[in-house]
Amino acid sequence: MAKSDQATCEVKVEGAWQPVTAAEAYAQHRSAQKRCPECHGQVMTVSTYSHTIRIRLSHRKGHDGCSLQPDRFKGVRSPHPQALA
């Protein structure tokens, strides 16, 4: 079972989207554009400190058609209205 800090996003590197883990995006691609691999909406990395630093992904604009946002997902996947191309 995947841990939440193994979440992946896509970062734009030299004009091409590449999948990376949230931790890699945070450490190595902080200024690059990032998008959700499912709905292609823009995401940002958010670090939380408890016992260890955890990096998670947060949609910049919420979207209820993305299963990677379980607190908002309404059960039907749809592209983000402001998807990054």
Q: Which residues bind Zn ion (CB under 5 A)?
A: 36, 38-39, 41, 66, 68
Residue closer to Zn ion, measured from CB, 14 or 71: 71
Q: Closest separation between CB of residue 80 and Zn ion, Å? A: 6
* Two structure tokens written together for 82: 């402001």
80 in Cβ contact with 41 (< 8 Å): yes
Q: Closest separation between CB of residue 59 and Zn ion, Å? A: 6
Q: Closest separation between CB of residue 37 and Zn ion, Å? A: 8
CA 1 to chain centre: 18
Residue closer to Zn ion, measured from CB, 25 or 39: 39
Residue closer to Zn ion, measured from CB, 23 or 36: 36
Pairing mode of beta strands 43-49, 53-59: antiparallel
Which residues have a Cβ under 8 Å from the Cβ of 15 and sit 6 or more positions away? Answer: none
